[in-house]
Amino acid sequence: MNLSPNHGPRRDGLRPELVVLHYTAMPDAASAKRALCDPAREVSAHWLIARDGQVVQLVDEELRAWHAGAGQWRGRGDVNSRSIGIELDNDGASPFAAALMDALEGLLAGILARWSIPPSGVIAHSDMAPGRKRDPGPRFDWLRLARQGMAVWPECEAPTCPDADAFRRHARAFGYPEVEDALLLETFRLRFRPGAKGPLDGIDCALAAALLRD
């Protein structure tokens, strides 16, 4: 039984090939659950993880939950039909609770196995909706997930010469939508270099290139 009424069938025979991570930006998990189950809000997710590690399924994974909204990944839209959405109980500014991260790892392991989704298919809401969304934000520990084989994290031995064309090409090949250069850099850094400032540099370029080797 689906706790949230906000769902429908996946379109055009599509199946989950992505997992999109979100933060709730609400006071607590109970508030988020009410919002995600409110038909007037027309928003939902497949899963909600509270700060204490409690995991609640809101929509069956076979169905299309309404979590991603407008955006693209790997040159294709309708991310809702191609993904599973996980809402994380976090305000967007605080560190993610240890119990929540432990629960997320357990949940992700099952999802990736059930749907044969590779680590590169686990993305941020911000990745597919640059400028519109920032979740799960700069405090999220992507490296921890990557070490468990549940996400990707690029490693580069040394910076390369800054090359805007190469950076754009590598970021787009990884999956990022076509947006203007400044927004692409901001979105890339939000996930892979939180806190980095200034114009495109050699570290950005090396990391983007390394993504295609992982």
Residue 213 pLDDT greater than 80, yes or no = no
- pTM of the predicted structure, to 2 decimals: 0.97
Q: Determine the pLDDT at residue 103.
A: 98
DSSP H helical ranges for the chain: 29-36, 98-115, 125-128, 142-147, 164-174, 181-192, 202-211
Residue 129's φ and ψ, nearest 5 degrees, are -135, 60
Residue numbers annotated as active site: 87
Q: Quick count: other Cβ atoms within 10 Å of Cβ 143?
A: 11
Cα–Cα distances in Å, from 152 out to 24, 36, 40, 211? 23, 28, 36, 8
pLDDT band at 47 (very low <50, low <70, confident <90, very high): very high
Identity at 55, one-letter amino acid code: V
Residue 205 pLDDT greater than 90, yes or no = yes
C-alpha span between 189 and 193 (Å, rounded) = 4
C-alpha span between 200 and 147 (Å, rounded) = 27
Domain boundaries, the chain: 7-147, 164-211
Between strands 83-88 and 122-124, the pairing is: unpaired
pLDDT in tens, 121-156: 999 999 999 999 999 999 999 999 999 999 999 988
Q: Which CATH number fits domain 7-147: 3.30.470.10, 3.40.50.620, 3.20.20.70, 3.40.80.10?
A: 3.40.80.10
C-alpha span between 159 and 145 (Å, rounded) = 24
C-alpha span between 201 and 109 (Å, rounded) = 35
Q: Which two tokens stand for residue 163?
A: 């090359």
Cα–Cα distances in Å, from 50 out to 90, 126, 145, 184, 203? 8, 21, 18, 31, 35
Residue 91 pLDDT greater than 80, yes or no = yes
Q: Determine the pLDDT at residue 157.
A: 75
pLDDT band at 36 (very low <50, low <70, confident <90, very high): very high
Q: Determine the pLDDT at residue 135.
A: 98
Q: Determine the pLDDT at residue 26.
A: 95
C-alpha span between 183 and 167 (Å, rounded) = 13
Residue 158 pLDDT greater than 90, yes or no = no
pLDDT band at 214 (very low <50, low <70, confident <90, very high): low
DSSP H helical ranges for 121-196: 125-128, 142-147, 164-174, 181-192
The single-letter DSSP state of residue 195 is: T
| Residues listed for the chain | 214
Q: Do 107 and 55 contact (CB within 8 A), yes or no?
A: yes
